[in-house]
Structures are given as C-alpha cells and as structure tokens.
Amino acid sequence: MTESERHKLMLGLLRDQPFASVRDLQAYVNASPATIRRDIAKLHASGAVRKVFGGIAAAESVSGLDRLAARPFTENQMLEVAAKNAIADEAAKLVKDGDAIIIHGGSTCYLFALLLANRNVRIYTNSMPLAATLWQNGTCHLTFAGGDLYREPGIVFSPKAGAPEFYASKFFLGAQAITPNGMQESHPLIVKETELLLQRADEVIVLADSRKFGARARYPIMPLSRIGTLITDEGLSEANHKMLTDAGIRVIIARPGPENS
C-alpha cells in the first residue's frame, strides 16, 4: 500500500470516529508502528489531522472551537458522550466513602455525579439538573446552593450569598476552555460562583474532554497552577499534555470501554 493510499484510509477512518490510536491505525492500514508515526507526522504538518496523545484526531477549525464555549448545558449533554462517560468513570475512582465534595454544573460533571448518587458521600452543587436528578434517584447527602435559577447554564446563584458554609476535600468542575493562561468560561455568573467555591475546597479536579483545549471563552476563571488533577480523553495533544504536566498538574487519560462506546 502506498503512502497516499494509507493517508486516504486514515482520513476516512476519522470521518467515522473522532479519534484513532496508533494501534487502531496499525490494524486498519496494516503498517508498522514506525510507518504509522511517520504518516501521523506528515498529516499533522499538512493540517489534515491533529496529532494527539497516542494517535490522531479529526482537525477542527478555530471558529468551531470558539462556538463550543457558548453552548448551553442541554446541548453539551449530547456531545462526546462516550468520552465524557469515561472521564466520569475515572473521576468517581478519586472519591472515597465519607468524602465531602463540591460538584459544579456542566454535562461531564452531571454524568460523574450520577455515579455517586447512591454512595456514602456529601455533595454540594449549584447545578439544578444535577440536584434534581440526585433528589429523585439518589441517597447521598445533598446540599444545594440557594439563589436564582439561571436557565442557560443551569445553575443557581445568589450574588449576595457569599461562599457557602460547606468545606470539601475536592472540587470537581468542568471547563469551557483551557489555555496556557488557565481556564476560561463564557458566562460571568459561572466565574463568580467558581471563585467563591474555590475558597471552600482543598483540591481542584477538572473534568474536560479534549475539545476544550484550544477553545476560547471570554472570562478567565483560574490559572493552571490552581488545578491539582485534570481528567480528559485520548484526544489530548502531546503539546497540551506537556503544558499541563509542566504546570504541575496530574493528568489522567480516560479511555472509553465497550460500555461507554
């Protein structure tokens, strides 16, 4: 098989799935790991694909990434579900029975919270969808933020309330965008609420699928140095992996299993 034939097959594979590992590509085009890595380097250099941690991902335009930051909760629920479920699974492993934790709004955090619904944990949240689900289907101890409901982000917030009287060992939150300058959000109320909750948690754990890297949002929320652990998917680029580890962040790569596919 010629190089151009391999490249055509590899690009065709990415039309059916967002990510392909080196092992996937080896089997798909029947080539050695060294050949696959050379192909990846050439396709990445041409802009046809993105070189990511362990393989390649479909190329995305900057404008598409910009639009990502403005999507409401209900729309984000439908995106990258397998990756988000895998991230949620990894996050649940970090929670011990008896823990008091804060879980922010967001579609990945919502899936994570479902895994804790019937565990012996204390959860504080400002997410209306999350609180409603845990109330109906859970047995965990739940503390809910007070204030007005802001429907687009799905959070409850009171500008006069101040930081809650809840202290957590871990604060789990999602991200609209992650850059070398830190995390960014598109809604100012999320920024204000997060700043208050950061005062009440020992460790910050970010749940963010790889689409969030390179995205842009309007408001800075925290520097990378404030993040202890970040859980993402296999689409994370090598450059972004290095950016995170250089900032002292523990990076966990979540790999979807058959049940999440």
Give the domain range for residue 25: 3-59
137 and 177 fall within a common domain: yes
- Residue 19: phi and psi, rounded to 5, are -145, 145
The per-residue pLDDT string of the chain (261 residues; one tens digit each, 9 = 90 and over) reads 889 889 988 888 877 666 778 888 888 889 998 999 899 989 988 888 877 767 787 765 434 444 444 444 444 444 568 889 999 999 999 999 999 999 998 889 999 999 999 999 999 999 999 999 999 999 999 999 988 888 777 888 887 888 899 999 999 999 889 999 999 988 788 888 899 999 999 999 999 999 899 788 888 999 999 999 999 999 899 999 999 999 999 999 998 765 554
Q: Are residues 45 and 113 in the same domain?
A: no
User: Do 68 and 22 lie in a common domain?
Assistant: no
Distances from the Cα of 64 to the Cαs of 59, 70, 71, 203, 214, in angstroms? 10, 11, 11, 32, 10
Do 87 and 212 lie in one domain? The reply is yes
107 and 188 share one domain? yes
Distant-in-sequence, close-in-space partners of 35: CB < 8 Å, separation ≥ 6: 6
32 phi and psi, to 5 degrees? -75, 160
Clarify whether residues 78 and 47 are in a common domain.
no
C-alpha–C-alpha distance, residues 108 and 112, integer Å: 6
**Beta carbons of 77 and 107 less than 8 angstroms apart:** yes
The structure's pTM equals 0.73
Scanning the chain, the segments in alpha helix (DSSP H) are: 3-16, 22-29, 33-46, 62-68, 73-76, 81-92, 107-114, 128-137, 188-198, 238-246
CATH number at residue 126: 3.40.50.1360
CB 210 within 8 A of CB 236: yes
